[in-house]
């Protein structure tokens, strides 16, 4: 089975622009989570979606939004980009039940100039 895939791999934007990041979970996985990893830090939880509904949200501003599609893929949108949004954005998928291993994709590296 293919792992979690993310696109694009790298992205350069300027302040004030908007960006959309995409994630395809492992086949059969219905839960998708998004994390932001700033250089030198551990990943921080942004969103969790399960069965197309938002099930959790981290401490991020409303500029961050996400959605999950019927095929369980997901998009993360960030509006009005700031320099501080420069980070590695990671997507993770897991199966339906709790206490499940989360499998991470390779990430999208976003640079905001």
Partner 1 sequence: SQQGEEDPQALSIQEGENATMNCSYKTSINNLQWYRQNSGRGLVHLILIRSNEREKHSGRLRVTLDTSKKSSSLLITASRAADTASYFCATDVPDRGSTLGRLYFGRGTQLTVWP
Residues that bind partner 1 (CB under 8 A): 4, 31, 33, 35, 37, 39-45, 48, 50, 55-56, 58, 88, 90, 92, 97-99, 101-107, 109
Indicate the residue among 44 and 79 with the shorter CB distance to partner 1.
44
In this complex, which beta carbon is closest to partner 1, that of residue 25 or of residue 43?
Answer: 43
C-alpha to C-alpha distance for 112 and 48, rounded to whole angstroms = 24
Intra-chain end-to-end CA distance of the chain, in Å: 37
- Closest approach, Cβ 50 to partner 1, in A, equals 6
Cα angle vertex 65, ends 61, 22, to 5°?
Answer: 130
Q: How far is the CB of 77 from partner 1 (least distance, A)?
A: 20
Could you tell me the smallest distance in angstroms from the CB atom of residue 27 to partner 1? Answer: 17
Copy the structure tokens of residue 112: 């905001």
What is the spatial distance between Cα 49 and Cα 40, in angstroms, rounded to a whole number?
Answer: 26
């Amino acid at each position: 089975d293919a792992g979690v895939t993310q696109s694009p791999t790298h992205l350069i934007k300027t302040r004030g622009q908007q960006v959309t990041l995409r994630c395809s979970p492992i086949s059969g996985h219905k839960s998708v989570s998004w994390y932001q990893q700033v250089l030198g830090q551990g990943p921080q939880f942004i969103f969790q979606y399960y069965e197309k509904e938002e099930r959790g949200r981290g401490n991020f501003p409303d500029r961050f939004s996400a959605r999950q599609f019927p095929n369980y893929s997901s998009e993360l949108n960030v509006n009005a980009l700031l320099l501080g949004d420069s980070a590695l954005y990671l997507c993770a998928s897991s199966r339906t039940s709790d206490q499940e291993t989360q499998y991470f994709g390779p990430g999208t590296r976003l640079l905001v100039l």
